[in-house]
Amino acid sequence: MTNPLLEKFNTPFNTPPFSKIKNEHFKPAFEAAIDKAKQEIDIITDNSEAPTFENTIAALDFSGQLLDSVSHIFFNLNSAETNDEIQKIAKEVSPMLAEFGNDVGLNEQLFARIKSVHENKATFQLTAEEDMLLDKTYKSFVRNGANLNEEDKKILREIDKKLSETSLNFGENLLAEINNYELHITDEKDLSGLPEGVVEAAKMTAEQKNKDGWVFTLAMPSYFPFMTYADNRALREKLAKASGSKAFNNNGHDNRNNVLTIAQLREQRANLLGYKTHADFVLEEQMATSSKNVMDFLNNLLDKARPVALDEYKQLCNFSKENGGPELLESWDGAYYSEKLKQKLFEIDDEQLKPYFQLENVIKGAFIVAEKLYGLQFTEVFDIDKYHVDVKTYKVTDKNNELVAIFYGDYFPREGKRNGAWMTTFNSQCIKNGENIRPQVINVCNFTKPTKTKPSLLTFNEVTTLFHEFGHALHGMLANTTYPGLSGTSVYRDFVELPSQLLENWCYEQEALELFAFHYETGEVIPMELVEKIKASSNFMEATAIVRQLNFGLLDMAWHTTPADTIKDVEQFEKEATLPTRIYPTIDGICFSASFAHIFQGGYSAGYYSYKWAEVLDADAFEYFLEKGIFNPEAGEKFKEYILSKGGSEHPMDLYEKFRGRKPDNDALLRRAGLLKKALV
């Protein structure tokens, strides 16, 4: 049987031939790709010549590219277009990949060569990028068991295999819980308060499920508008509790044991490698460097934000009481009354804004911003194979019409796609045999779908999410390093969010909004009055939003700094860990940990703090753009040169200082959030 995953892609720009790829191709492709990668490692270890940077470090970094290709294609499908068969394959191949990773990381001959190069690096006259790759490679092997004895290496293999399997189970349970829940409404009066477009979308969902009435789900484009606008408080409570108890329902998809197992295995792994906690292991190779620094950072922000957030909560409760609502607001009231108060204070809401944010125009706007800042051109192309009909594909070129990247946009929710938004790649940029291989980058999102009468109209939050993920995409697209292991987003976790969070700032600027915010029916550019209201309301309930993020960050750190054998009850542990961030009353039966995919399925364990950490950098960086002009070509070129193109080729703080001319000003975030002034009152 011919296998398209193992053959040269005879496609435009060497893109994956999705129409030829069948599920039965994946496991044989993984097996063959692993064998090929092993042979490439054998060539390195069997080399009779003395270890050098080129024959050991560079050769290792360029090995396994076929395996990377198969993995990127498969695991994006498992996140964006999965089914029972793909999930079954994932369970079969994940242990194989974990075992192969251990085979490489625990290979004594390979590590001996790496260690030799590292010890003799002064003799090799390495460039800064080569020195960084050598250092990263050596530390990676040491930090992942190369110095362990044989017995401990066996234990490490078992831990990694079990971690891989348990993380997959966590994700499958969560997706099943999201897909299995629906709020079915048959009485039209229960739709009171909901915008016309939201109601129409719920009608479409019901029709797709062969039901009368309207169906709301836990997918964010359905869930969030209901929580924001539905007048029926009992139904808001019902939906909120369903969301808060995902994978926490004492059924076949309960994640409590998975959460405890993952925490225990991570701690065992860290201890085996000589670290007290998983957080200590992770943070050693991040900008923050230690658990103490992270906790000090989070608690310092919390000290400033929580008093203001409590005032915001009181303000919301008073507003509710004055308008005939409950005196004590619960979590399912927050979005609803915040929206009402926002409308009163600023005379603005998402329903006013959505007509100006048609998805296609917002995408085009992101492209125009990239053109003005970095000289990029995006041209939609129709001859590239796609894994789903909804996916859009673009050829990205520079000012000289040279290929920069291929970009895929996958924007709508569906049953086989997990919640959230993310950026990934089908292949990364690198320079091989003198050729600068350009990347294939994907943004996957879950935005409001078109209805029978309206195009996809985004909430303002969805607009900023699109720009956020596009910022990640630009980091991948504009990569310009020699080695794939340092390319694009291959940077410290607490630095990777800088390009994404920085780009969100353009969504609040008139000069940018006027490029893409056009009324979908009239073509009218967004009125200056609305732009001013967007700016004026940008810090509305900001302290509450910050405390919510700190809640997640502190919960993450608690899971990865607390001795795992002391955690017996997942719900109780979460309540105690998040007590300092409590604003709304506690609700029994709600447990976010069971669905905290960022840390138990994704790559953010002991790293969720990075969103706020990078926000300090992005607030400081955007002040530079405001000083120079938000479309200043010099500022754009500097950010491209020192941040976007360099990937992980230099230490992130060194790169930031080259861009900014100084270290970041930590008060920039507080200034932008309005907390510096508020905290002093």
Catalytic site positions:
469
Residues 6+ apart with CB under 8 A from 88: none
* Tokens 């897909």 sit on residue: 179
Residue type, position 340, single letter: K
Tokens representing 468 are 């956020």
Q: What is the DSSP letter of 288?
A: S
Buried b / exposed e over 515-533, threshold 16 CB at 10 Å, is bbbbebeeeebbeeebbeb
Q: Judge contact between 202 and 225, C-beta under 8 A.
A: no
The rounded radius of gyration (Å) of the Cα atoms in the chain is 25
Q: Say how many CA atoms lie within 13 Å of 562 toward its Cβ.
A: 18
Q: Measuring CA to CA, how many Å separate 438 from each of 427, 429, 656?
A: 8, 5, 24
Residues 6+ apart with CB under 8 A from 58: 130, 133, 483
Strands (E), 135-268: 183-185, 214-216
Q: Judge contact between 241 and 587, C-beta under 8 A.
A: yes
Q: Say how many CA atoms lie within 13 Å of 308 toward its Cβ.
A: 25
- Residue by residue, DSSP assigns 459-477 as -HHHHHHHHHHHHHHHHHH
| Helices (H), ranges, 230-376 | 233-244, 256-272, 278-283, 291-322, 331-346, 350-353, 359-374
Distance separating alpha carbons of residues 485 and 135, to the nearest angstrom: 12
Among residues 359, 431, 593, 338, the alpha carbon closest in space to that of 62 is found at 431
Give the per-residue SS3 of 247-273: CCCCCCCCCHHHHHHHHHHHHHHHHHC
Distance separating alpha carbons of residues 657 and 247, to the nearest angstrom: 44
Distance separating alpha carbons of residues 672 and 527, to the nearest angstrom: 24
Beta strands at 403-410 and 422-427: parallel, antiparallel or unpaired: unpaired
Residue type, position 221, single letter: P
Residues 6+ apart with CB under 8 A from 592: 244, 552, 555, 574
Residue type, position 382, single letter: F
Report the 10 Å Cβ neighbour count for 328: 11
How many Å from the N-terminal Cα to the C-terminal Cα in the chain?
72
